[in-house]
Amino acid sequence: MKHVFWMSVFAALTAVVFGIAAKGTDRQRLIYGLKVFGEFLGIALLLGWILYFIPFR
Amino acid sequence: MVARRIEKEQKIETPRAAWLVGLAAWAIPGAGHFIQKRWLRGALAGGAVWIVFLTGLWLGGHLYAVSGGQQGFGALLQLLPMIANVGSGLPYVFCWIANIGFAEHAQIVTYEYGNTFLLVAGLLNYLVMLDAFDIAAGRKR
C-alpha cells in the first residue's frame, strides 16, 4: 500500500506542474492535469500487473 | 520578398527581464511566477516542486554531484542525474553546501522513491522555469 501511496503522490504533484505548464484555457489545463494523473496511475497499475505474471525467478 | 518580411516580423526580441525571471524561477521554485504576480500558478507549481524535493530528501533519496574522484565513464554516469538535480535551484546548492542528501542510503526501503522524487523535482522546476520565462517574454498568458 505504501508503494501505491507514494506513486499517487508523485503522479498528483507531477500532474499539477504538467497542467500548469500546458497551453489553453484554465478548464483545458485542468482536464489535461487530471488526464496526466489518471494516465500515470493507470499505466503504473497495468505495468504492475503485467510484471506480476512474469516469472523472474 | 514576402517570406523574408514575414520572417522579420516573426522575430520578436526577448525582453531582458524575462531572463532575470527565468533565473529567479530556477533559483527559487515558484519565484518566477510570484515576480509576475501569478500568485496561484506560482503557489501550485512552486509548491509542487518544493514538496517533491523535500519528500525526496525525507524518503532517503540521494542527490548527485560530479566529484573530482570520478573520471571517464563514471563521471559521465553522475553528470546526467546531476543536471536533473541542479534543476531544483538553490535548494540543491544549499544541500551541497550543507552536505545534506549526498550520502547514499540504499538500505532504506524508500531509497529509490527518494531518488526519483529528487530527480523529478529538478526536471519539473525546469518546466516551471520555462513557463515563467514564456510568460515574461509574452509568449504565453
* Residue B102: other Cβ atoms inside 10 A: 14
* Rounded Cα–Cα distance for residues A17 and B32 (Å): 14
CB contact under 8 A, A10 and B120: yes
Residues of chain B with Cβ-Cβ distance to A23 below 8 Å are 140
Enter the ipTM.
0.85
Q: Nearest chain A residue to B113 by CA: give it.
A: A6
Hunting for cell 503504473 — which residue is that? A44
Predicted pLDDT of residue B140: 83
pLDDT of residue B66: 82
Residue in chain B nearest A13 by alpha carbon: B48
Contact A16 B45 (CB under 8 A): yes
Q: Give the per-residue pLDDT at B16.
A: 87
Which residues in chain B are closer than 8 Å to A18, comparing Cβ atoms?
127
CB contact under 8 A, A16 and B48: yes
| CA dihedral over B110, B122, B125, B88, signed as positive or negative | positive
Among B44, B108, B140, most A C-beta atoms within 10 A, so best to mutate, is: B44
The per-residue pLDDT for range B4-57, each reduced to its tens digit, is 666 655 666 888 899 999 999 999 999 999 999 999 999 999 999 999 999 999
Per-residue pLDDT of chain A (57 residues; tens, 9 = 90+): 678 898 999 999 999 999 999 988 999 999 999 999 999 999 999 999 999 898 876
pLDDT, residue B94, reads 95
Q: Tens digit of pLDDT for each residue in B82-138? A: 999 999 999 999 999 999 988 888 888 888 899 999 999 999 999 999 999 999 998
What is the DSSP code string of B22-81?
A: HHHHHHSTTHHHHHTT-HHHHHHHHHHHHHHHHHHHHTT-------TT--THHHHHHHHH
**Pick among A17, A34, A36, A40 to test the B interface (most B CBs inside 10 A):** A17
- Least Cα distance to B134 among A51, A49, A55, A23 occurs for A23
Q: What is the pLDDT of residue B74?
A: 75
pLDDT of residue A28: 94
pTM of the model: 0.87
C-alpha cell at B90: 538553490
